Amino acid sequence: MSEVQLDYTPIPGIRLGTTAAGIRYADRNDLVLIEMQQDATCAAVFTTNAFCAAPVVVAKEHLAASTPRYLMINSGNANAGTGRDGMAVCRTTCEALAAEAGCKVDQILPFSTGVIGEILPLEKMVKALPLAMAELNENGWSDAAAAIMTTDTVPKLVSRSFESNGNTLTVTGMSKGSGMIRPDMATMLAYIATDAQVETDLLQECLQQAVEPSFNSITVDGDTSTNDACVLMASGAGNAPAITEPGSAYTALCEAVRAVCMDLARAIVRDGEGATKLVEILVESAADLSEAKEVAYTIAHSPLVKTALFASDPNWGRILAAVGRAGLKQLDIDAIRIWLDDVCIVQDGGRSQDYTEQAGQRVMDRDEFTIRVELGRGNADTRLLTCDLSYDYVKINAEYRT
């Protein structure tokens, strides 16, 4: 396999190995192992989908029982909707890796992404594990980021540095995701690591705070995957004192983790299946956060709005209609204002008197812009990233299994 070259900073104490197991496609890497050094800590969040995949069930069990040493990730097959047989295959692959690595079974966290409803090919997975083990190295992030892709068009990998007690530490993260994106926890798959030494509970809190404004605030198509997971690892191999309580070092860490999550989340939406537009939806002055999110998601998930975005059509009536059907009680339509970037399109219950089609077209022709809704009901605001719905989205998903 040819190596993938991406700009990132490796994390001491974290090694990655990638190989081709032939799970769905020939001649492409599709299996990744991530090894954490002995004293590393780990945090994770998982999908809220009731039909969560076998690896999600097993990963949750193992994370609750032990401190992980290895992450095992495959693409091309989700091992979801596969019942007891899929669960048995997942557990057997964990046992095989534990025997190969010389660790306990519950120190393995498995992850899968790909087609739902097909059992993971056990023999191919087990045969490929030693090959992936042999490739483990701290500079393996680029190949790993490419190997976990499914319908993604580009790998997603970023790094950020931060200062901790006079020392420079790093956060590096990779993710995959392009379709079936409305995470409600994280994203389809994301793996983030730092060389900071962090107590486990603090690491978990840091991750949960980071995913809310990033991975939990994006949507491509409104579909929450059966396999979503986001993992944050802290190797403790950096030259800085351990973070054991909230303070300036912990704040700096959380800011860096959040920045990496935001970068990856933005990259996922930008790479949405067939996407040509990156659109921020900003809902302001809502009565509470719940109704702000309801309005934002109603706009983002409207097929009519999304196809207008693809056409660069300033059909402002579709946005107005989406706000109106979001289910807000006692909505005062005269108090609502809607904007495309700096162009006011709706005011006083209808089209803004200052609005012109030319001004709206100028914004819609951009690759990136903001739809801003002022509800005039309170002080709650929310932001959401989404994209358009193109011909290619239908083509990609119609042909996904062929």
Which residues are known to be catalytic?
187
Least Cα distance to 227 among 48, 397, 34 occurs for: 48
Helix ranges restricted to H, 110-247: 122-134, 141-147, 200-211
CB 68 within 8 A of CB 36: yes
Can you tell me the distance from the alpha carbon of 157 to that of 174, in angstroms, rounded to the nearest whole number?
Answer: 4
Residue 25 structure tokens: 């496609």
Is the C-alpha dihedral spanning 207, 297, 159, 111 positive or negative?
A: positive
CB 361 within 8 A of CB 335: no
Least Cα distance to 4 among 117, 100, 146, 132 occurs for: 146
Can you tell me the distance from the alpha carbon of 191 to that of 155, in angstroms, rounded to the nearest whole number?
Answer: 13
Radius of gyration of the chain (CA): 22
Least Cα distance to 115 among 11, 8, 225 occurs for: 225
Say how many C-beta atoms besides its own lie within 10 A of residue 301's C-beta. Answer: 18
CB 176 within 8 A of CB 188: yes
